[in-house]
Amino acid sequence: MSAAAPGTGKPAGRIRQKNEKAIIAAAEVEFARHGYKGTSMNSIAQAVGLPKANLHYYFSSKQGLYIAVLNNILDQWDSTFNSLNVDDDPALALSRYIRAKIEYSRTQPLASRIFAMEVISGGQHLTAHYNQDYREWFRQRAAVFQAWIDAGKMEPIDPVHLIFLLWGSTQHYADFASQICMFTGKNGLKKTDFELAASNLERIILKGCGLTPPQSN
């Protein structure tokens, strides 16, 4: 890994992004396994396969790298909600969001567990991310739900608690997969298990909102 790519014709910025992505992916595994305190920059450097000094070129501290991991997780999750609009069909919008978040739980369970551990431990590393701009983003999502309610498209429920329910229920299948396996007698959750979970959450949440789940293709 190098910051520049002499003779390759590739912009250094692209190389840097590629390297940072690889470092964040390796760090995600280490933080999920050992937690923030139990993870070292040296172990991350070994996992990604580069000298520790090179790692510090991209991320000067463990805290900075950890925050980058958290920001990457939240940016991916929030991208599924960024385009929410009052003109959307509430049933379709909620269904898409539930299924997208469940798919994240299936394909990126470690990311969800890192986030859960951070929140449980007090969320001190999330302070910068949850700034005024993010709180405004949250209020705008809630305002869309309220607009649907005011227009008679949804039951009059609290939009804030609906968002909390959407977050918690979809992430449950990553954070508590071992518990689910214990009670269902499974050795691990498969794609069909996540699809079943998505269908049930869709039905429960949408009907609770007074909406009819869209027909599956």
User: Do 138 and 47 share a structural domain?
Assistant: no
User: Do 130 and 156 share a structural domain?
Assistant: yes
Count CB-CB contacts under 10 A for residue 166. Answer: 18
Residues 6+ away with beta carbon under 8 Å from 24: 65, 68, 69, 72
User: Do 28 and 130 share a structural domain?
Assistant: no
User: Do 162 and 130 share a structural domain?
Assistant: yes
Residues spanned by the domain of 2: 1-60
Average pLDDT, the chain: 91
Last residue of a domain, one of 40, 60, 80: 60
Residue 215 inside a domain? The answer is no
Closest CA to 112 of 69, 152, 151, 83: 69
Residues 6+ away with beta carbon under 8 Å from 177: 109, 188, 189
User: Do 97 and 165 share a structural domain?
Assistant: yes
Give percent of the chain above pLDDT 90.
81
User: Do 93 and 55 share a structural domain?
Assistant: no
User: Do 90 and 193 share a structural domain?
Assistant: yes
User: Do 188 and 102 share a structural domain?
Assistant: yes
Residue 217 inside a domain? The answer is no
Tens of pLDDT, residues 114-129: 999 999 999 999 998 8
Last residue of a domain, one of 41, 60, 79: 60
Last residue of a domain, one of 18, 37, 60: 60
Tens of pLDDT, residues 10-51: 445 888 888 898 999 999 999 999 999 999 999 999 999 888
Q: List Cα–Cα distances, 141 to 42, 55, 72, 129, in angstroms.
A: 40, 37, 20, 17
As a whole number of angstroms, the distance between CA 6 and CA 26 comes to 26
Q: What is the pTM of this model?
A: 0.85
Read off the CATH number of the domain in which 184 is found. 1.10.357.10
User: Do 177 and 150 share a structural domain?
Assistant: yes
Tens of pLDDT, residues 60-90: 999 999 999 999 999 999 998 999 999 999 9
